[in-house]
Amino acid sequence: MTADASPPPPSADSALPAGSRVALAGASGLIGSALARSLERDGHTVLRLVRRAPRGPGEVRWDPEEQRIDAAGLVGCAAVVNLAGAGVASRRWTEGYKRRIRDSRVLGTATLAEAMAALEEPPRVFVNGSAMGFYGATGDRAVDESAPPGDGFLPSVCVEWEEATAPAQEAGIRTVLARTGLVVARGGGAWARLFPLFRAGLGGRMGNGRQYWSYISLHDEVAALRHALDTGSLSGPVNLTAPTPLTNAEITRAMGRVLHRPTLVPTPEALLRLALGDMAGDILTSQRVLPTRLLESGFRFAFPGIEDALRAALRRTD
């Protein structure tokens, strides 16, 4: 599948039935744990993919880097969701860690896609994580799912990551490529670091502050993933970002208003690059990404504005 073309919509009967078994990779992460809770609250059975020996019937063993999985654990699953991958912001980007970022995504996705394709009765739907990093730097230009990939490390990873789903697509499994933006949450991701900084009155714009941040609340991220599972007409790339991306300076001011703290001290670009190395480019890059296909499919955001998303995170709505 090419990056700028969407496959023809599958039949509507591929929607996720009630009480389904759903295999979930990355269930211990910020988004995965919230998604698992949401699915279980609604009566679905979540089978968590783990790298250690399973502790019960609700776990399936796999090793994404070694491309091994207990495929028998996927039998009877109506859906598979893959959110696994080494954290992009977890540590400085050495060459070794950049390989880990890539391999944990590409090899893990290929392992799942090939295992599903080999099943006598494959799952109806495969929702595979991706990222808005696919588009690279867009500056002030707004992009949606019709845009081609950008240049650089993260776009190249995203292209390979999405291409690794090919065996599932070729087997007729409805496949959604969830290109997630910056998730606003207190328990993880970028905002887990930003909230304490701003509470202490040390928050400020990063670099020149003109770079666009395409964000999404954790609540809406989970709801969008559920929407992808349940909407039989949805497949291919789907941007999981709020409809109104804002600049870093605008988000900084919103943080100050919500937390009632000053936001006067900027963080210079040179200091960010010294502290974070290559990873600083991800923070300073402007990505103005729109969720066109999500909106066209009927999805409605609960927290489309940044202040609502921030307050939702502080209330721990998920």
Give me the pLDDT at residue 15, please. Answer: 65
**Taking a C-beta distance cutoff of 8 angstroms, is the pair 214, 223 a contact?**
no
276 close to 92: Cβ distance less than 8 angstroms: yes
SS3 content of the chain, % helix, strand, coil (to 5): 40, 20, 40
What is the sign, positive or negative, of the torsion defined by CA atoms of 237, 243, 247, 248? negative
Q: What are the pLDDT digits (tens) for 138-162?
A: 999 999 999 999 999 999 999 999 9
Round to whole Å and give the CA distance between 290 and 213: 11
**Quick one: pLDDT at residue 282?**
62
What's the chain's Rg over C-alpha atoms? 19
Q: What are phi and psi of 216, to 5 degrees?
A: -155, 140
DSSP string, 177-200: EEEE-EEE-SSSHHHHHHHHHHHT
pLDDT score of 225? 98
Judge whether 102 and 159 are in contact, CB under 8 Å. Answer: no
| Nearest in space to 167 (alpha carbons), one of 128, 132, 224 | 128
* Segments in the chain below pLDDT 70: 1-15, 90, 269, 271-283, 316-318
Q: For residues 262 and 205, what is the distance between their CA atoms, to the nearest angstrom?
A: 11
- At residue 90, the pLDDT reads 67
At 202 the pLDDT is: 84
- The pTM (predicted TM-score) of the whole model is 0.91
Domains and CATH numbers, the chain: 20-180+218-241+290-299 (3.40.50.720)
